[in-house]
C-alpha cells in the first residue's frame, strides 16, 4: 500500500512537471513577445500558495495586496506576474493581459496586452506550449533509448482460434511452398505497414488504428521458409475490448515468472502448479527441454526456445502426455513435470446481444456442467464449497458455465435459488439448497469451474450460438440440440466407445470427424446416454449430425496446455537501445512523431467508431495507469511520461476554441483577414468547445472510476 502511494505521488509530481513545461513554453514566448503575464499557474481553482516578486510568498493569492500596493505606490517595484499553485491539480494556465479563453470579450487596449501583439507573434505564443511538450517528449525518449527500453519483441506468441491471424493466407505462400494458413507461434514480424516493427506494441497499435475494413500488411520471417512471408490481414473487432485486433499474443520466454512469494503466496503457487501438472516448479526456474512421456528413460530431449514450444509439442503428440524439464541455469535438469494435454474446444458467443460477450466453450454444442472450482478468501458466506456441482441455478438445471454466468448476471442485486450436488470424502453425495446474494456486478463470490475433468455429464445445449469474431455472421443452431433432450444427461459412449469424462467425449467426437464420412462430407456420431436422475440402467441413443463445415472445424481441433502459459511464464523481452547519441536523437524524434500521428489517428478512429469513448483515459485513468507503470521502474515511467507529453501536445492543438488549436485558428484568420473573428462567433464557439470538453471529461472520468472497481 505504501509503495503504491509513493508511486502515485511520483506520478503526480511527474505529471506536474509535464504541465509545468507546457505552461513554461507559453510563458517564455509571451515574455519574448512583450505581452504582460498576470499569472503562471499549476492547477485550477483558488490558489493554495503564491509568490510574486516584490511581495514574496503568500498563502492564497497575493492579487489583492498587489492591487493595493500599485494603487498606493504607482512606481512600486512589484511584478505583475503571480506564480500560483492551485488546489485542483488538473492542468495549469498562463494568464495574459487581455486574453481569456473562457470569455473572449475580456480584452485590453494596453500596449503590452495580448490584443496589441501582432498576430504572427501570438501564433508563436499559442503554439509554444505544444512545442515545449514535443521537445520534452523527444528528450525523454532520447534518454530512454540511450539507456535501453525493455519491450516485448515483434514476435508472435499465441494465436486466438478463429481470429484474423489464424485465417490469413500469405500472399506469397504458394511460391514459397507454405500450405498452412495463418500466422504461427515463433513468427518474427519484420515490418508492419511497410515500416520496421521494433516491438510487439507496434503490432497492437497497427491493428487498433487500422481503417475499418482495411487490411494491414505484415512481413514475417519464419523458420524453415527461405524468404519472408507477406500477409494482408484485416483486423476483427475484439469481443473483449471492442477494439480492432488480429488475435495474437506476445511470445513467452522459458523463464518461470520471477515472483517473490510470501508463505501464503507460496502455498497458493504450489496448489496452482499442482493442478497444472507442474509440481515442484518454482518462480525463476527455466524450461530447459521438452520430451515425450518416457523422455527420462530414453534421454531424448528437444531444447526449449520459448514457452510456446510446449503448445507445439502437445499438438505434435496428439493427445499423449509430454515431459518438461526445468533448470535454474538452462543446463542441468532440476525438476521434471509430466503435462497431460487438454483438448482444444470450439468457442462461440452465447449472448445474442452484440455488446455483451459470454464465452461458450463446446464441441458441437456439448459442454460440461458448471461447478465451483474455488471460493477465494474473503468471499461472502454463501454456503458454496469447492467441488459443488450446480444441479439448479435460478431457472436452469445443470447449467453450462456460460449459461450459468448469464443466469447469475440476470440476478444482479438479488438472491438466486441454488441447489448443488456435494460429494464427501467417502464419495457419498447429497443435494444442498441455498439462496446466495448476487452483487451489483453479477457475482456471487466463487471461481467458476466445470465437471469436464472427471465426469461425462453434459449441459443442455443452447438454441443458438454466434461467432467470437468476424462481421455479418449469423447465429447458428449447434448439432447437439438434436441429440440432447434433457438437462443433466450423462454420456456413456460415443460411437460405441465408452467414455468416463467430457475429455473422452470430446476426443471421441474429434476422431469420428477425422474418420469416415458420408458422400457429402457430413458425419453422424451415435451417442449413448443416461439421465442423471436414476440408477443409470436406462440407456438411450441419439445421433449427433454434423455438417461438413462443422465436421471440418472439429477435425482440426488440437491440444493445449492445462494451464495459461502467460500466467506461469515471463514474457520474452528485448531491449530497444540506440547505437549512439546521434541514433538516440533519431529514435527519440521518430518516436515522438510516431506517437503524435497515432494520437491524431485515435481521434479519427473515434469518429469512425473503431475506437470507442470508453477506450480513452482521463486524469484518473492516466494516474492509475501511471502508478502501474511506475512500479515497473523509472525507465518505463519516463517512456510513459513521454507518451503523455505527446498526447497533451496533440490534444491541446485540436481545432477546439477552448484549447490552443482553436485559438491558433482564430489568430490565423485574423492574420489573413486583417481583423479578428467576430465576437459572437468566438463566444458561440467557446461555449460549444466548453460543452464538448466538459462532457468528454465527465465521460472518461466516469469510465476511469468504474474501471477501478
CATH number of residue 309's parent domain: 2.30.42
CB 96 within 8 A of CB 36: yes
User: What is the span of the domain harbouring residue 321?
Assistant: 254-343
User: What is the rounded distance in angstroms from the CA atom of residue 342 to the CA atom of residue 644?
Assistant: 43
SS3 34: coil
The answer to whether residues 261 and 203 belong to one domain is no
Place of cell 510513459: 640
Kindly report the backbone phi and psi dihedral angles of residue 298, in degrees, each rounded to the nearest multiple of 5, phi listed first: -80, -25
Q: What residues form DSSP beta bridges with 335?
A: 326
Q: Report if residue 322 sits inside a domain.
A: yes
Cα–Cα distance for residue pair 413/409, rounded to 1 Å: 9
User: What pLDDT, on a 0 to 100 scale, did the predictor assign at position 593?
Assistant: 74
Last residue of a domain, one of 91, 119, 147: 119
Domain co-membership, 440 together with 508: yes
Cell 448476487, located at residue = 438
Q: Does 413 share its domain with 552?
A: yes
Listed as own residue / partner, the contacts of 538-544 with beta carbons closer than 8 Å and 24 or more positions apart are 539/492, 542/482, 542/483, 542/484, 542/485, 543/482, 543/483, 544/364, 544/479, 544/480, 544/482, 544/483, 544/509
666 shares a domain with 593:
yes
Largest CA distance in the chain: 108
Beta carbons within 10 angstroms of residue 289's beta carbon: 20
| pLDDT at residue 610 in the model | 54
Is residue 363 included in any domain, yes or no? no
**Grid cell at residue 93:** 494556465
Do 182 and 199 share a domain, yes or no?
yes
Residues 584 and 507 in one domain: no
**DSSP label of 270:** H
Q: Indicate whether 533 and 386 sit together in one domain.
A: yes
Q: Are residues 32 and 103 in the same domain?
A: yes
Q: Are residues 297 and 245 in the same domain?
A: no
Cα distance between residue 86 and residue 20, in whole Å? 13
In-domain check, residue 146: no
Q: Name the β-bridge partners of 524.
A: 545
CB-based burial label for 242 (10 Å; 0-12, 13-18, 19+): middle
Could you give the angle at the alpha carbon of 75 between the alpha carbons of 74 and 81, nearest 5°? Answer: 90
Quick one: 292 and 412 in the same domain? no
Tell me if 597 is assigned to some domain: yes
Reduced 3-state DSSP string for 477-512: CCHHHHCCCCCCEEEEEECCEECCCHHHHHHHHHHH
CATH number, residue 191: 2.30.42.10
Average pLDDT by stretches of 10, the chain with 709 residues: 60 78 91 92 90 91 88 82 87 84 73 88 91 88 86 87 84 89 90 88 83 88 91 82 81 88 83 87 91 92 91 90 85 82 89 79 94 85 90 94 93 93 86 92 89 92 81 78 90 94 94 90 93 75 92 90 89 86 82 71 62 52 50 75 81 78 84 81 69 59 51
Q: Answer left, alpha or beta for residue 46, where phi above 0 means left and psi between -120 and 50 means alpha.
A: beta
Q: Are residues 514 and 388 in the same domain?
A: yes
The candidate with the shortest Cα–Cα distance to 371, out of 415, 412, 405, is 405
Q: Is the residue at 74 inside a domain? A: yes
State the Cα–Cα distance between residues 86 and 50, nearest whole angstrom.
9
Tell me, yes or no, whether 572 lies in a domain. Answer: no
616 and 512 within one domain? no
Could you give the C-alpha distances from 177 to 165, 180, 226, 233, 344, in angstroms and in order?
19, 9, 10, 20, 28
385 in any annotated domain: yes
The grid cell for 128 is: 509554444
Single residue among 230, 250, 270 that ends a domain in this structure: 250
**Count of the separate structural domains present in the chain:** 5
Spell out where 328-383 has E strands: 335-339, 342-343, 346-349, 359-362, 370-374
Instruction: Give the end of a domain, one of 90, 119, 148.
Output: 119
Locate 135 and state its grid cell. Answer: 521537445
The pLDDT of residue 392 is: 95
Tell me if 143 is assigned to some domain.
Answer: no
pLDDT for position 684: 75
Stated pTM of the model:
0.72
Q: Strand pairing partners for 49?
A: 59, 85
- DSSP output for 593-625: HHHHHHHHHHHHHHHHTSS-GGGS--HHHHHHH
Amino acid at each position: 500500500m505504501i509503495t503504491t502511494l509513493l508511486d502515485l505521488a511520483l506520478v503526480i509530481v511527474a505529471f506536474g512537471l509535464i504541465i509545468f513545461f507546457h505552461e513554461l513554453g507559453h510563458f517564455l514566448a509571451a515574455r519574448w513577445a512583450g505581452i504582460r503575464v498576470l499569472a503562471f499557474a499549476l492547477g485550477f481553482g483558488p490558489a493554495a500558495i503564491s509568490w510574486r516578486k516584490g511581495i514574496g510568498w503568500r498563502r492564497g493569492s497575493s492579487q489583492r495586496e498587489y492591487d493595493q500596493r500599485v494603487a498606493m505606490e504607482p512606481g512600486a517595484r512589484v511584478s505583475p506576474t503571480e506564480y500560483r499553485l492551485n488546489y485542483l491539480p488538473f492542468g495549469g494556465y498562463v494568464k495574459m493581459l487581455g486574453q481569456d479563453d473562457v470569455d473572449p470579450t475580456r480584452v485590453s487596449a494596453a500596449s503590452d496586452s495580448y490584443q496589441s501583439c501582432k498576430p504572427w507573434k501570438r501564433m508563436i505564443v499559442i503554439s509554444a506550449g505544444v512545442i515545449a511538450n514535443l521537445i520534452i517528449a523527444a528528450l525523454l525518449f532520447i534518454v530512454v533509448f540511450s539507456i535501453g527500453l525493455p519491450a516485448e519483441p515483434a514476435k508472435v506468441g499465441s494465436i486466438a482460434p478463429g481470429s484474423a491471424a489464424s485465417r490469413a493466407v500469405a500472399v506469397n505462400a504458394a511460391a514459397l511452398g507454405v500450405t498452412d494458413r495463418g500466422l504461427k507461434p515463433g513468427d518474427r514480424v519484420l515490418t508492419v505497414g511497410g515500416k520496421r516493427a521494433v516491438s510487439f506494441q507496434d503490432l497492437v497499435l497497427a491493428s487498433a488504428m487500422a481503417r475499418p475494413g482495411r487490411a494491414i500488411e505484415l512481413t514475417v520471417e519464419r523458420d524453415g521458409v527461405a524468404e519472408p512471408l507477406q500477409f494482408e490481414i484485416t483486423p476483427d473487432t475484439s469481443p473483449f475490448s471492442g477494439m480492432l485486433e488480429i488475435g495474437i499474443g506476445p511470445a513467452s520466454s522459458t523463464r518461470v515468472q520471477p515472483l517473490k512469494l510470501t508463505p501464503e503466496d507460496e502455498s497458493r503457487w504450489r496448489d496452482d502448479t499442482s493442478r497444472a501438472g507442474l509440481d515442484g516448479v518454482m518462480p525463476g526456474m527455466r524450461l530447459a527441454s521438452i520430451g515425450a512421456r518416457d523422455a527420462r528413460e530414453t534421454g531424448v530431449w528437444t531444447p526449449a526456445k520459448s514457452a510456446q514450444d510446449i503448445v507445439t509439442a502437445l499438438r505434435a503428440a496428439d493427445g499423449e502426455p509430454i515431459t518438461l524439464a526445468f533448470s535454474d541455469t538452462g543446463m542441468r535438469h532440476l525438476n521434471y513435470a509430466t503435462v497431460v494435454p487438454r483438448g482444444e474446444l470450439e468457442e462461440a458467443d452465447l449472448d445474442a446481444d452484440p455488446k455483451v460477450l459470454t464465452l461458450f466453450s463446446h464441441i458441437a454444442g456439448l459442454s460440461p456442467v458448471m461447478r465451483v472450482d474455488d471460493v477465494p478468501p474473503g468471499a461472502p458466506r454463501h454456503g458454496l464449497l469447492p467441488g459443488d456441482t450446480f444441479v439448479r441455478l435460478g431457472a436452469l438445471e445443470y447449467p453450462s458455465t456460460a449459461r450459468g454466468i448469464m443466469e447469475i448476471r440476470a440476478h444482479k442485486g438479488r438472491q438466486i435459488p441454488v441447489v448443488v450436488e456435494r460429494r464427501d470424502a467417502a464419495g457419498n453425495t447429497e443435494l444442498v439448497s441455498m439462496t446466495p446474494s448476487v452483487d451489483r456486478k453479477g457475482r456471487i463470490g466463487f471461481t467458476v469451474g466445470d465437471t469436464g475433468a472427471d465426469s461425462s455429464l453434459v449441459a443442455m445445449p443452447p438454441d443458438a450460438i454466434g461467432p467470437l469474431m468476424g462481421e455479418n455472421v449469423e447465429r447458428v443452431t449447434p448439432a447437439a440440440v438434436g441429440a440432447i433432450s434433457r438437462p443433466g444427461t450423462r454420456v456413456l459412449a460415443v460411437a460405441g466407445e465408452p467414455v468416463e469424462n467430457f475429455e473422452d467425449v470430446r476426443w471421441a467426437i474429434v476422431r469420428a470427424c477425422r474418420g469416415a464420412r458420408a458422400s457429402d462430407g457430413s458425419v453422424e456420431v451415435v451417442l449413448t446416454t443416461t439421465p442423471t436422475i436414476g440408477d443409470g440402467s436406462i440407456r438411450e441413443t441419439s445421433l449427433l449430425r454434423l455438417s461438413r463445415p462443422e465436421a471440418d472445424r472439429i477435425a482440426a481441433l488440437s491440444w493445449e496446455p492445462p494451464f495459461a502459459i502467460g500466467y506461469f511464464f515471463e514474457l520474452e523481452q528485448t531491449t530497444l537501445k540506440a547505437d549512439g547519441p546521434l541514433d538516440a536523437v533519431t529514435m527519440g524524434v521518430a518516436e515522438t512523431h510516431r506517437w503524435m500521428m497515432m494520437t491524431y489517428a485515435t481521434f479519427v478512429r473515434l469518429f469512425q467508431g473503431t475506437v470507442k469513448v470508453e477506450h480513452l483515459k482521463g486524469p484518473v485513468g492516466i494516474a492509475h495507469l501511471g502508478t502501474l507503470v511506475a512500479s515497473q521502474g523509472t525507465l518505463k515511467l519516463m517512456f510513459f511520461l513521454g507518451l503523455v507529453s505527446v498526447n497533451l501536445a496533440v490534444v491541446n492543438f485540436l481545432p477546439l476554441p477552448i484549447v490552443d488549436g482553436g485559438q491558433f485558428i482564430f489568430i490565423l484568420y485574423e492574420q489573413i483577414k486583417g481583423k479578428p473573428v467576430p465576437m459572437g462567433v468566438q463566444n458561440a464557439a467557446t461555449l460549444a468547445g466548453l460543452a464538448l470538453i466538459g462532457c468528454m471529461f465527465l465521460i472518461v472520468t466516469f469510465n476511469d472510476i468504474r474501471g477501478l472497481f
